[in-house]
């Protein structure tokens, strides 16, 4: 009898050890602990930037559903849609039997969040607010999907490019910048958004960094009062200029006088995914251009 009990105890300990070895635990961007008993094989992405992160981490083939505008990389366009950023088809999500949901927390999602929590499907919240969170997220996603090697390589590549940009621009003079997400109404971003971190990396200063909402609406008068040296607009949904030309009528505006009204691909910046470094490089280039315009104008005045 004692021998049987010993064998059973040994079996339980071996099973427990195997479970512990297989269990995967990470902390998401909301500070919550996410534990998986095994690497996820059926993943649903609930934001375009999340889709990009999953593909970069080596898990593209595991994505069984995503939302509207998840259009990068090219393969993402073939993934079935289960809704958009405002509303998802909860019944379809549950019917797909995912073993991991990677979500972005935003106001429109709150009402459906509780249903997903009660479903028992593991939830990982992704909301990178600093550039250095991107490689960290890639590694965590790789751990959860069993693609650590690919994820680590992507993280290393990101970190290398980040360090190069930081070294190149860390001692550059400040350029006061207005970042225009949308022209009408006039949306910008505050210090909590990853775009401000990219502007800061390049030696820029977000003139509305201290506003409370992460995506505040500002007035034309407020922008004119701050008189930024550079205005960056983003292209989106076929709008090639994002109303950036509206500032040309203000002759006293420094950004206009110095020919510093520029537009950058919004998908590279407003999505906190791996491509944001390409967006950061574009920001660095226009900031450097603004510095050159400053020098040119000063020389003309001598």
202: Cα separation from own chain's centroid:
18
Q: Look at residue 8 in the predicted model and tell me its pLDDT.
A: 33
How far, in Å, are 4, 66, 295, 297 from residue 300 at the CA level? 94, 54, 9, 5
- 43-61: per-residue pLDDT in tens? 999 999 999 999 999 999 9
**Confidence (pLDDT) at 39:** 97
Contact status, residue 91 vs residue 116, Cβ threshold 8 Å: no
Q: Are residues 295 and 171 in the same domain?
A: yes
pLDDT tens digits, one per residue of 245-263:
899 999 999 999 999 999 9
Residues in the chain, pLDDT under 50: 1-20, 237-238, 240, 299-302
Cross-strand pairs, 27:
33
User: Which tens digits make up the pLDDT trace of 74-120?
Assistant: 999 999 999 987 889 999 999 999 999 999 876 556 677 888 888 88
What pLDDT was estimated at residue 1?
Answer: 39
- Report the distance separating Cα 190 and Cα 159, nearest Å: 24
| pLDDT attached to residue 213 | 85
At 111 the pLDDT is 72
User: Per the structure, how many domains does the chain have?
Assistant: 2
Q: Could you tell me which of 92, 119, 95, 116 has the C-alpha nearest to residue 104?
A: 116
pLDDT value, residue 295: 66
Last residue of a domain, one of 121, 153, 185: 153
Q: Is 215 part of a structural domain of the chain? A: yes
Domain that includes residue 250, residue range: 165-301
Same domain? 148 vs 203: no
Asked whether residue 119 falls in the same domain as residue 191, the answer is: no
The secondary structure of 58-123, three-state, reads CCHHHEEEECCCCCCCHHHHHCCECECCCCECHHHHHHCCCCEEEECCCHHHHHHHHHHHHHCCCE
CA distance 64 to 96: 8
pLDDT at 9: 38
């Amino acid at each position: 009898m004692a021998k049987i009990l010993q064998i059973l105890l040994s079996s339980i300990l071996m099973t427990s050890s195997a479970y512990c070895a297989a269990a995967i635990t990470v902390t998401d961007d909301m500070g919550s602990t996410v534990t998986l008993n095994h690497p996820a094989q059926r993943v649903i992405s609930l934001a375009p930037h999340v889709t990009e992160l999953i593909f970069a981490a080596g898990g593209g083939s595991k994505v069984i559903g995503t939302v509207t505008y998840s259009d990068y990389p090219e393969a993402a366009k073939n993934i079935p849609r289960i809704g958009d950023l405002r509303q998802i088809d909860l019944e379809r999500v549950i019917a797909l039997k995912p073993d991991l949901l990677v979500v972005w927390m935003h106001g429109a999602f709150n009402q459906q969040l509780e249903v997903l929590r009660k479903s028992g499907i593991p939830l990982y919240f992704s909301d990178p607010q600093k550039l250095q969170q991107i490689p960290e997220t890639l590694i965590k996603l790789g751990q959860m999907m069993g693609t650590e090697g690919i994820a680590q390589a992507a993280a290393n590549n990101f970190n290398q490019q980040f360090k190069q940009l930081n070294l190149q621009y860390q001692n550059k003079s400040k350029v006061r910048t207005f970042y225009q997400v949308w022209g009408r109404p006039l949306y910008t971003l505050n210090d909590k958004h990853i775009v401000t971190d990219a502007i800061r990396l390049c030696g820029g200063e977000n003139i509305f960094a201290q506003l409370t909402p992460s995506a505040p609406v500002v007035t034309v008068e407020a922008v004119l009062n701050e008189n930024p040296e550079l205005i960056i607009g983003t292209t989106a949904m076929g709008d090639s200029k994002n109303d950036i030309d509206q500032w040309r009528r203000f002759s006293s505006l420094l950004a206009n006088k110095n020919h510093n009204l520029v537009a950058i691909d919004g998908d590279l910046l407003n999505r906190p995914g791996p491509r944001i470094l390409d967006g950061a490089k574009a920001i660095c280039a226009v900031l450097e251009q603004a510095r050159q315009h400053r020098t040119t104008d000063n020389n003309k005045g001598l």
